Amino acid sequence: MTRLVRGADGRMWTVRSRVEWRNPSATDDFEHDVSGGHTPGVVMFGILIVMGVLLVAWTPEEVVVPAWLIFALILLFLFFPVRWSLRRPWTLVAESKATADDQPPELWVGQVRGVLAVRQEASNVVRNIEMYSLPNVDGPLQPVD
């Protein structure tokens, strides 16, 4: 998502966001940033599939499974992947170019978690740039040198 915004001082700003599929590691979290990779998740997913197939294969023919139970199991199975994808961290960037009247270029970067939160925060940043020519210092964006 990219937006062009004209600040109150006449500068053009670009406000953009992108999803981060890996959690950014901070310097204080470095020793806890050990990952086993994708293998444990793939193995657990495979075991879940095998157990589901065995459950269906060994079910006697006289058993009637209601449709609501199948729907409930599908919702339960999809809850965590959907939650994971909706709560991914997003990088929000606001930058301006240098202008002819000696205003230096600026770059503001921050992290926001969640799809709806990043849309709302991008709208707040756009509004602040239009009104005050800068993003809000108290928000998630911080100036980068």
Mean pLDDT to the nearest integer, 46-72? 92
Contact (CB, 8 A) for 3 and 122: yes
Cα separation, 128 vs 108, whole angstroms: 13
Query: The tokens of 124 are what?
Result: 């707040």
Cβ–Cβ < 8 Å for 143, 22: no
pLDDT at 56 over 80: yes
Query: What pTM value is reported for the model?
Result: 0.72
- Please say whether the beta carbons of 140 and 111 come within 8 A: yes
Percent of the chain exceeding pLDDT 90 equals: 58
Say yes or no to pLDDT of 32 above 70.
Answer: no
